[in-house]
């Protein structure tokens, strides 16, 4: 039993995520949750007795959900790139929890994890917030252990975290010219991987998953109504000539705060008009009149820049 005079509680704010699979550390994790194993109970009744005895059945593991900053994205962008291409491999890693003095206390390890969701944050020209990607992973094995080791954990802060702002971006669509320079907002987008239902093999209680298709989000953005002419023309032409001639390519590029370097780029293929409309109008409003447009897509790819994220 722990001695209450020498064993003290510690805060939940000191943790680090690292990956064993590719020997890469994700040092700048803003927050995380999930990754808990929960067993289903099998209840066995005994003859005429009204009570039943519980037995531990198969286990289900809830996904991990992370908010990860710029300094973590080097290795994870490689994983996300393969995820977008439906060619991802399984990764393993550990979340290390420490006390106020950075002494390691708990290790929450996971193995054979699939990336299930990757959320690109909202881009807003008026935002002052740093950029964080949201990532969900589904492990097949988790294990939590306590330790009294004197090993310290001190996350490495990267100056590159200062580079990613939600306000520094550039959206382009092939054939629409400079009108995309007046896009003020791009909504958050989540790419999802579908999987088979969990299946269990032999004596193993942990579930196994096999990846299926990738589901692509809808591109939703807003721009100045005064410069939306080429966009509206494209929507009208697509309606008249049919869907075969409508699709276009495009890209969303994240820039450094000075807008002089590209950090990474997401390319869109098969962009097809869904709808466009003038956003809500109010009397005596000081806001610029904006048009929102929504585009379906066939697929996305992700590319990092050598001068941006390492």
**Residue by residue, what is the 3-state secondary structure of 61-85?**
ECCEEEEECHHHHHHHHHHHHHHHC
> Taking 70 as the threshold, does the pLDDT of residue 203 lie above it?
no
> Taking 60 as the threshold, does the pLDDT of residue 208 lie above it?
yes
User: What is the sign, positive or negative, of the torsion defined by CA atoms of 228, 230, 233, 237?
Assistant: negative
Between the ranges 7-16, 47-56, 283-292, where is the mean pLDDT highest?
Answer: 283-292
Domain boundaries, the chain: 15-40+55-304
Find residue 165's DSSP bridge partners: 130
Name the residue with tokens 């996305």.
300
* Mean of all residue pLDDT scores within the chain: 81
Quick: pLDDT tens for 11-52. 445 777 877 755 555 557 788 888 888 877 777 777 666 777
> Taking 80 as the threshold, does the pLDDT of residue 270 lie above it?
yes
Burial environment of residue 121 by CB neighbours within 10 A (0 to 12, 13 to 18, 19 or more): buried
Is residue 283 very low, low, confident or very high in pLDDT (cuts 50, 70, 90)? confident
> What's the CA gap between 221 and 228, in Å, rounded?
12
Q: Is the model's pTM score more than 0.85?
A: no
Within 8 A by CB and 6+ apart from 122, the residues are: 166, 185, 186, 187, 188
Distance of CA 121 to CAs 94, 185, 188, 239, 275, Å? 25, 11, 5, 31, 22
Answer yes or no: are the C-beta atoms of 209 and 140 closer than 8 Å: yes
Answer yes or no: are the C-beta atoms of 217 and 190 closer than 8 Å: yes
> Taking 80 as the threshold, does the pLDDT of residue 306 lie above it?
no
> Taking 50 as the threshold, does the pLDDT of residue 56 lie above it?
yes
> Taking 60 as the threshold, does the pLDDT of residue 228 lie above it?
yes
- pLDDT at 50 (0 to 100): 72
Q: What is the mean pLDDT of residues 62-76?
A: 77
> Taking 90 as the threshold, does the pLDDT of residue 296 lie above it?
yes
Within 8 A by CB and 6+ apart from 64, the residues are: 32, 33, 34, 35, 110, 113, 136, 137, 138, 139
- pLDDT at 267 (0 to 100): 96
Q: What is the mean pLDDT of residues 279-287?
A: 74
């Amino acid at each position: 039993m722990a001695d209450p005079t020498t064993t003290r509680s510690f805060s939940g704010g000191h943790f680090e995520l690292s990956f064993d699979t590719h020997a890469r550390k994700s040092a700048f994790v803003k927050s995380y949750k999930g990754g808990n194993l929960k067993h289903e109970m099998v209840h066995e009744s005994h003859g005429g007795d009204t009570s039943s005895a519980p037995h531990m059945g198969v286990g289900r593991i809830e996904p991990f959900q992370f908010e990860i900053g710029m300094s973590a994205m080097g290795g994870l962008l490689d994983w996300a790139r393969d995820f977008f291409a439906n060619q991802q491999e399984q990764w393993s890693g550990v979340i290390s929890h420490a006390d106020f003095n950075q002494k390691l206390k708990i290790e929450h390890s996971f193995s054979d994890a699939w990336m299930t969701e990757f959320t690109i944050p909202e881009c807003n020209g008026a935002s002052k917030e740093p950029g964080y990607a949201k990532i969900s992973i589904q492990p097949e094995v988790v294990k939590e252990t306590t330790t009294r080791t004197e090993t310290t954990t001190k996350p490495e802060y990267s100056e590159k975290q200062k580079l990613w702002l939600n306000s520094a971006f550039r959206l382009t669509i092939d054939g629409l010219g400079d009108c995309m320079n007046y896009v003020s907002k791009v909504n958050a987008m989540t790419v999802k991987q579908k999987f088979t239902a969990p299946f269990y093999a032999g004596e193993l209680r942990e579930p196994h998953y096999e990846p299926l298709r990738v589901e692509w989000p809808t591109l939703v953005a807003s721009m100045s109504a005064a410069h939306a002419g080429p966009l509206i023309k494209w929507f009208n032409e697509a309606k008249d000539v049919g869907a075969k001639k409508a699709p276009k390519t495009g890209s969303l590029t994240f820039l450094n705060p000075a807008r002089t370097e590209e950090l990474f780029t997401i390319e869109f293929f098969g962009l097809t008009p869904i709808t466009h409309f003038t956003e809500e109008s109010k009397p005596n409003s000081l806001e610029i009149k904006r048009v929102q447009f929504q585009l379906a897509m066939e697929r996305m790819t992700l590319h990092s820049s050598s001068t941006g994220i390492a």
